[in-house]
Chain A
Amino acid sequence: MEKYTLNQTPVRTAKNFGINDINLELEIPQIKEFCNAMIMCYEMDKIEVNDEKVHEKMTSKIGLELDSNYSLEIKVLENAHLKEPIIIDFSFDDENDVLIDNIKIVMEKASKATFIIKYNGEDEKYFHYLKQETSAMQDSECKIVIANLLNKDSESFIAIENNIENNAKAEYILAELGGRTKISNYYANLKEFSENNIKTIYLGTNEDILDINYNIEVYGKSAKCNIEAQGAINGKAHKNFKGTIDFKQGCANSKGIENENCVILSEEAKSKSLPMLLCKEENVEGEHGVSSGKIDKSKLFYLMTKGLSEKDSQKLIVKANFSKIINKIQNEDLENKVIEIIDKI
Chain B
Amino acid sequence: MSKTNIEEVNRNIYDIKNKNEYSYKTIGLTPNVIKDISKQKNEPQWMLDLRLKALEIYENLEMPTWGPDLSELDMSKIATYVRPKTDMKKSWEDVPDDIKNTFDRLGIPEAEKESLAGVGAQYDSEIVYHSIKDQLVKQGVIYTDFDTAVKEYPELVKEYFTKCVPMTDHKFIALHYAVWSGGSFVYVPKGVKVDIPLQSYFRLNAKGAGQFEHTLIIVDEGASLQFIEGCSAPKYNEINLHAGCVELFVKENSFLRYSTIENWSKNMLNLNTKKVIVDKNGKIEWVTGSFGSKISMLYPMSILNGENAKCEFTGISFAGTGQNLDTGLKIVHNAENCSSVVNSKSISKGGGACTFRSNVSVRKRAKNSKITVSCESLMLDSISRSDTIPTNSIENEDVEFSHEAKIGKISDQAIFYLMSRGISEEEAKAMIVRGFADPISKALPLEYAVEMNNLINLELEGSIG
Contact = CB atoms under 8 A, between A and B. Distances in A.
Chain B interface, DSSP helix/strand/loop, else mixed: strand
A278 B389 CA distance: 8
B21 interface: no
Contact of A282 (B381, B395, B405, B406): B381
Interface residues of A, number: 44
Given A12-B65, A14-B64, A292 B392 contact: yes
B406 A286 contact: yes
A288 B403 CA distance: 8
A292 B394 contact: yes
B115 interface: no
B400 A287 contact: no
A287 B404 contact: yes
Nearest to B388: A277
A17 B382 CA distance: 31
A274 B381 contact: no
A290 interface: yes
B402 A272 contact: no
A264 B391 contact: no
B390 A275 contact: yes
A294 interface: yes
A5 interface: no
B44 to A, nearest CB: 33
B412 to A, nearest CB: 9
B107 interface: no
A288 B391 contact: no
Given A13-B357, A279-B377, A280-B382, A289 B402 contact: yes
Given A17-B359, A280-B385, A294 B399 contact: yes
Contact of B398 (A262, A280, A290, A294): A294
B394 A271 contact: yes
A283 B392 CA distance: 28
Given A273-B391, A275-B390, A292-B399, A267 B364 contact: yes
A330 B393 CA distance: 34
B433 interface: no
B391 A19 contact: yes
Nearest to B369: A293
A15 interface: yes
A15 B394 contact: no
Contact of B388 (A17, A250, A285, A288): A288
A12 B69 CA distance: 13
Contact of B400 (A270, A275, A293): A293
Contact of A276 (B64, B359, B388, B402): B388
Contacts of B377: 277, 279
B385 A14 contact: no
B432 to A, nearest CB: 14
B353 to A, nearest CB: 9
Given A12-B65, A279-B385, A288 B379 contact: no
A314 B54 CA distance: 52
Nearest to B376: A287
Given A12-B65, A12-B66, A274 B401 contact: no
B26 to A, nearest CB: 31
B144 to A, nearest CB: 34
B396 interface: yes
Interface string B41-72: 00000000000000000000000111100000
A278 B354 CA distance: 10
B74 interface: no
A249 B393 CA distance: 31
A272 B393 contact: yes
Contacts of A293: 394, 397-401
Most buried by A among B357, B394, B404: B394
Nearest to A291: B402
A292 B361 CA distance: 12
A282 B3 CA distance: 14
Interface in B74-110: none
Contacts of A282: 379-382, 384, 409
B339 to A, nearest CB: 13
Interface string A93-137: 000000000000000000000000000000000000000000000
B436 to A, nearest CB: 15
Contacts of A275: 388, 390, 403, 405
B169 to A, nearest CB: 9
A292 B67 CA distance: 27
A87 interface: no
A290 B403 contact: yes
A274 B65 contact: no
Contacts of B64: 14
A264 B396 contact: yes
A284 interface: yes
Nearest to A284: B408
Interface in A231-274: 247, 249-250, 252, 262, 264-267, 269-274
25 contacts: A11-B66, A11-B387, A13-B359, A14-B67, A15-B65, A17-B393, A20-B66, A264-B396, A264-B397, A266-B397, A279-B385, A281-B379, A282-B409, A283-B409, A284-B379, A284-B407, A285-B406, A285-B407, A286-B407, A287-B407, A288-B405, A289-B403, A289-B404, A289-B405, A291-B402
Interface of A: 11-15, 17-20, 247, 249-250, 252, 262, 264-267, 269-294
Given A266-B397, A274-B390, 6 more contacts: A12-B66, A20-B66, A278-B388, A284-B407, A289-B404, A293-B394
- Closest 4 A-B residue pairs measured CB to CB? A12-B66, A293-B399, A286-B407, A264-B397
Interface of B: 64-67, 357, 359, 364, 377, 379-409
